[in-house]
Amino acid sequence: CVLKEAKKLGFSDLEIAEIRGMTENDVRERRKQLGIIPTYKLVDTCAAEFDAETPYYYSCYEQENEASHDPGLRKILVIGSGPIRIGQGVEFDYCSVHCVWALQEAGIKAIIVNNNPETVSTDFDTSDRLYFEPLVFEDVMNIIEEENPEGVVVQFGGQTAINLADSLNRMGVPIIGTSNDSIDMAEDRDRFDRLVEELGIPRPPGKTAMSVAEAVEVANTIGYPVLVRPSYVLGGRAMEIVYNVDELEQYMATAVKVNREHPVLVDKYLLGREIEVDAVSDGNEVLIPGIMQHIERAGVHSGDSMAVFPAYDISQNIKDKVIDYTVKLGRGLKVKGLINIQFVEYNHELYVIEVNPRSSRTIPFVSKVTGIPMVKLATEIILGKSIADLGYRGGLQPEPGFYAVKVPVFSFNKLAKVDVNLGPEMKSTGEVMGIDYSLKTALYKGFIAAGVQIPERGTIVATIADRDKPEGITILKEFYRMGFKIIATEGTLKHLKAAGVEAEKVKKIREGSPNIVDLISQGKVDLVVNTLTQGRKPFSDGFQIRRAAVELNVPCLTSMDTLRVLQEVISEGERQERMQVYAIQDLVKKTK
């Protein structure tokens, strides 16, 4: 049988469907009619020297099936997050593992499917059974048919697992916890717009575009700048802020393939303060462990932004709205489990910009700093308990007496030709935490842990875009008062001198040597400040400046918000030297 031979050789149903001009489901049904189904083999971790007992399985198209089953056991399948990569990191693996532990504690056999051998969810003693398989519909559906679990959990595996919910649901697979319909309501632009309108929650104006012409029409209607992105993406992939029609047309031509199956979302970009919430909902009550405030304003991906817990600089009115909107969205979407919501405060109004009815990359951070086991609670809710049953009350929980700061970690020096400039597309490869009773000391600890070399004195090179100059000059003036030497390109220098800052001029790259890159290469620079001008030119002066700083391990900041925070941290330098080190467990204990 040609089909059987193709499966033995590793051809997927989808690949065969494309070759034969069929649908993936047609191939699947034909294969099953012919009795061509996978068998599962135990990974021999003892190299045939002893009988292996580790519950690792992989699929193949052979005769003997080594996966035995106990029909009397309750079983639930947890879909993992796959390889750790930019946009979907180890935080989601944390969530999968804690879900498995909670299921086991409830007496349920926890089965996990994941294809990342280098993480905790695939350790031999984590789950009761592990399948090393691709996280695609065909392979996951094969496992479900083999195991026949009572349900599948998708909310802890990030966007990878969420993207499987619809195809599994169409096959009649029970998605336990937040339903597939609720997931679709949060992801589908038109349905979500109708929901927030019904709930009376403001959101930035925008629409879904099915073509380039539609995208241009939407942008012209709502006004530039606009945030454009494909739907159903992870890590803000291919997301961009565009400032005019030329940039929009370039984006549509190069970054995405837009059509009815792959629409593009076009939203008004609001440059405001970003606020983030992770919550646990039982469909009625919504437990909010706390509110996070981002240091960088909206426009920098939440995974690349520094986040402070609890929020330190928002009014009581905005805080009340965050709580109200979070509860309304949890109930409106009928969420059972975790929900992540991102808001922006703009002109004293609060707008919702994104809702994810799943785990987020900040779940481990919030769980650790509050002592609230969010994934465990969410898993027990999935199994039928309420927030009250678990000993908690809905609403915002009491704030701790300390600050925790999440600081992203980047690997730009290992990623050649990647621009350092931060935007809506995620670029960080990890994160660290700084904790202290003082916010500035917590920030200082976060910078140090992230490997940022904080200069106490030295030379700053600045080349700042026109739109950032009013704010940037004010901050650089503070650095100048603290004893830093300021070197700037002509446009920035002019504004600095007008503000009373004595600065030296440096040439741009195209103006010859010695230029900014030469100074960085010669070790004469301690900090680079460079903000992006409108328009994206690969290998522009700005790009080369930022890359030179990264490759020579010189701190390079592209956000005025981060620069301001760094200046405030350095200004308290003497106090930081006397800082204390705390165990997070001790701080959390004191607040309970």
**Is pLDDT of 576 > 70?**
no
For residue 85, give the CATH number of its domain: 3.40.50.20
DSSP 494-558: HHHHHTT--EEE-B-GGG-SSBHHHHHHTT--SEEEE-PPSS--TT-HHHHHHHHHHHTT--EE-
pLDDT of residue 51: 67
Do 312 and 369 belong to one domain?
yes
Do 44 and 159 belong to one domain?
yes
Would you place residue 589 in the very low, low, confident or very high pLDDT band (cuts 50, 70, 90)? confident
In percent, the amount of the chain with pLDDT more than 90 equals 63
> Is the pLDDT higher at 348 or at 89?
348
Q: Would residue 199 count as lying in a domain?
A: no
For residue 528, give the CATH number of its domain: 3.40.50.1380
What digits encode the pLDDT tens for the residues 278-333? 999 999 999 999 999 999 888 888 888 999 999 999 999 999 999 999 999 999 99
Q: Would residue 359 count as lying in a domain?
A: yes
Do 10 and 79 belong to one domain?
no
Look up tokens 């639930």; give the residue.
76
Find the helix packing angle between 137-147 and 158-170, rounded to 10°.
70
Q: Would residue 200 count as lying in a domain?
A: no
Domain of 241, in residue numbers: 205-268
Would you place residue 88 in the very low, low, confident or very high pLDDT band (cuts 50, 70, 90)? confident
Q: Which two tokens stand for residue 227?
A: 């945030």
Do 115 and 143 belong to one domain?
yes
**Is pLDDT of 501 > 80?**
yes
Report the number of distinct structural domains present in the chain.
5
Comparing C-alpha atoms, which of 186, 209, 206, 184 is closest to residue 196? 186
Do 392 and 282 belong to one domain?
yes
Contact 308, 290 (CB under 8 A): no
Identify the domain boundary among 226, 241, 268: 268
What digits encode the pLDDT tens for the residues 443-456? 999 999 998 888 88
Q: Would residue 410 count as lying in a domain?
A: no
Q: Would residue 496 count as lying in a domain?
A: yes
**Ranges 46-55, 92-101, 496-505: which has the least confidence:** 46-55
Do 107 and 214 belong to one domain?
no
Q: 431 pairs with which residues across the strands?
A: 408
**Is pLDDT of 126 > 80?**
yes
Q: Would residue 60 count as lying in a domain?
A: yes
Do 47 and 172 belong to one domain?
yes
Q: How buried is 428 (Cβ within 10 angstroms: 0-12 exposed, 13-18 middle, 19+ buried)? A: buried
For residue 264, give the CATH number of its domain: 3.30.1490.20
Do 71 and 13 belong to one domain?
no
Give the three-state DSSP class for 290: coil
Q: Would residue 183 count as lying in a domain?
A: no
Q: How far is CA 434 from the centre of its chain?
A: 19
Torsion of CA 480, 483, 489, 493, to 10 degrees: 40
pLDDT of residue 49: 63
Do 212 and 156 belong to one domain?
no
What digits encode the pLDDT tens for the residues 390-426? 999 999 999 998 999 999 998 888 887 788 888 888 8
pLDDT of residue 544: 87
Do 80 and 95 belong to one domain?
yes
**Is pLDDT of 260 > 80?**
no
Do 510 and 543 belong to one domain?
yes
Record the pTM: 0.90
**Is pLDDT of 37 > 60?**
yes
What digits encode the pLDDT tens for the residues 424-444? 888 888 899 999 999 999 999
Identify the domain boundary among 268, 303, 322: 268
Do 60 and 169 belong to one domain?
yes
